[in-house]
A and B are shown apart, each in its own frame.
Chain A
Amino acid sequence: MAFTAPPDDAVKYVESLVWLPYHYVAGDYRAVYLRALKDKRILGSRCDKTGKVFVPPVINSPESFAPCSEIVEVSDCGTITTFCIVNIPVIGRNLELPYVAASVVLDGADIPIFALIQECRPEEVHMGMRVEAVWKPDGERQGDHEDILHFRPTSRPRSGEWPRPL
């Protein structure tokens, strides 16, 4: 029997759930970085050729292609280089709107990290603003990025060199 249209009770779709488990290797550089967060320390790695410090640490400079063999500690205090005010909810985080997401160059680093700015009104945030990390209390830090709850304004002066432009 030839048919020109599917019957009313045709299978209209096939549900196919993809389940793919992964067990990622952190890698030695990430492992040492994450472990240090437990002790309220932020680590980077220094480029053998240019001396620039990358946070989190990377095994080679994406800029110079040289290895970054030396692990160094940077400050948990830094300077906002750019920011945005977010007015829509973010997937996976329950944050009060609006909030500020900022790019922060930690003192001693040459590359910014991304940070949530709290404990101030969004309109007070500006480029060049000094901020410091607010850590989870002792005993609650797990060695992951949630160990830093957020950054907040600070009057702590800049330590070390002003970040060299990338």
Chain B
Amino acid sequence: MAQLRNVAIVGFAQLPVVARDEHRTATEMLYPAVRQALEQCGVGRDDIDYQIAGSTDYMDGRPFGFVAALESMGSWPPREDLHLEMDGIFCAYYAWLRMQAGYCDTALVVAHGKVSEGEPRRVSNLQMDPYYHAPLGIDATASSALQASMFMARTGVSDRDLARVAARNRKHGASNPDNQLRSAVSAEELQNTPFVVEPLRAGYLPPVGETATCLILAAEGKAERLCDRPVWIHGVEHRSELQTLGARDLSRSAGAKLASEKALAMAGLDRADQVDFAELAATNPAEEMVLCEALGLDPFGTRPVLNPSGGPLCADPIMSTGLIRLGEAFRQLSGRAGERAVSGAERALVHGQQGHCLQTNIVWICGTKRRWS
């Protein structure tokens, strides 16, 4: 692996995830998150070179809804700005790439979306093609259920196993004050919740939630000045798969597997279980198990710790869900995770996704030390 520029996460802020913020619009929610992240770094808005936002107009219900974010991000004098209709974790990747190319040294990465204002199920249906899939009424929960059924049939994973994975997430999530669900629930209780779309039960799915998030990236030289304990990027890779659900084996995530192999190689690691914890953007336990298989992680193991934040099951604010995973890696590895801190953690694997059934995956490896000297 060629030597790359050392880039670090130096700040992260989010609003606690709620079902519906009645007092603020999407971009008004963004403002305090951006301010908090900048204050963490002890700098003003003018000290950041580049900005990039992740949001979706379908969720906002207005074309070019993201341009309103320019006002909440302090875009005066005029900034170099980019927007992605993707989770903020992909925005972080763009910012990282620009730093590798030498275009900027610092970047503000934000994600926002008032999920409660629209109907996310309808929006996820419109992600499908309009000829064959969308008219069937398939939404993200239904496609996830197709994936879960295939995975369970192939592997013999049981309903009880799904409940155990969900319960582990809920247990971890109970000590994360930013989560929407903050109570530990036993596997038995979760297994007794009704099916939403079989085999997925209400207890295996996150509630609709919203937030705003802001992550700050900085290259070596600047990073040390912005943060006492920068969290360095050791590797990153993303892979997209086919859209047509029938064209791929839904019970496996070839994209996550390949992305993680490449990211681990960039980080100089052989296997995913060489990290201390992993944050996976899986929105139900079956999807998490598909990911674990692809990455080579044990969903019932004790190390690496899986989803110390509680994972998306405890808070799934669309557009921010992935960026929060990266934010959790920063909090854990920079000593900001409070009582949910993973002891002795030095390296993390972070996963983000977009689309139905893990269509697009991104995998990051982060650590407390610089990757390249």
Binding site for B on A (CB under 8 A): 14, 16, 18-30, 58-60, 62-65
Q: Nearest CB to that of A20 among chain B residues? A: B122
Interface string of B53-73 (1 = CB under 8 A from A): 000001001000000001110
Q: Does B135 contact A (CB under 8 A)?
A: yes
Contact B28 A29 (CB under 8 A): yes
Point out the residues of chain B lying under 8 angstroms from A62, CB to CB: 70-71, 74-76
Point out the residues of chain A lying under 8 angstroms from B25, CB to CB: 24-27, 30
Given contact pairs A14-B130, A25-B24, A20 touches B72 in the complex (Cβ within 8 A): no
Contact A27 B118 (CB under 8 A): no
Point out the residues of chain A lying under 8 angstroms from B222, CB to CB: none
CA distance A64 to B22 in the complex (A): 26
Point out the residues of chain B lying under 8 angstroms from A64, CB to CB: 76
Q: Does B185 contact A (CB under 8 A)?
A: no
Point out the residues of chain A lying under 8 angstroms from B44, CB to CB: 65
Q: Nearest CB to that of B70 among chain A residues? A: A62
Q: Nearest CB to that of B77 among chain A residues? A: A63
Q: Nearest CB to that of B45 among chain A residues? A: A65
CA distance A18 to B135 in the complex (A): 11
CA distance A25 to B45 in the complex (A): 27
| Total chain B interface residues with beta-carbon distance under 8 A | 30
Contact B76 A18 (CB under 8 A): no
Cβ of A143 to closest chain B Cβ, rounded Å: 17
Binding site for A on B (CB under 8 A): 20-25, 28, 31, 44-45, 58, 61, 70-72, 74-76, 114, 116-119, 122-123, 126, 130-131, 134-135
Further contacts, 15 of them, CB under 8 A, given A59-B28, A60-B72, A62-B74? A16-B135, A20-B118, A20-B119, A21-B119, A25-B20, A25-B22, A25-B24, A25-B116, A25-B117, A27-B28, A29-B28, A30-B25, A59-B24, A62-B71, A65-B74
Q: Nearest CB to that of B61 among chain A residues? A: A22
Contact B28 A20 (CB under 8 A): no
Among A18, A21, A58, the residue within 8 A (CB) of B126 is A18
Given contact pairs A25-B117, A59-B31, A60-B72, A14 touches B24 in the complex (Cβ within 8 A): no
Given contact pairs A20-B122, A59-B31, A25 touches B130 in the complex (Cβ within 8 A): no
Most B Cβ at <10 Å: residue of A14, A19, A58, A65:
A65
Point out the residues of chain B lying under 8 angstroms from A23, CB to CB: 116-117
Point out the residues of chain A lying under 8 angstroms from B21, CB to CB: 25
Point out the residues of chain B lying under 8 angstroms from A65, CB to CB: 44-45, 74, 76
Cβ of A31 to closest chain B Cβ, rounded Å: 9
Point out the residues of chain A lying under 8 angstroms from B130, CB to CB: 14, 16
Point out the residues of chain A lying under 8 angstroms from B135, CB to CB: 14, 16
Point out the residues of chain B lying under 8 angstroms from A63, CB to CB: 76
Cβ of B129 to closest chain A Cβ, rounded Å: 10
10 shortest interchain CB distances as A-B pairs: A65-B74, A62-B71, A22-B61, A27-B25, A16-B130, A65-B45, A28-B23, A63-B76, A22-B118, A60-B31
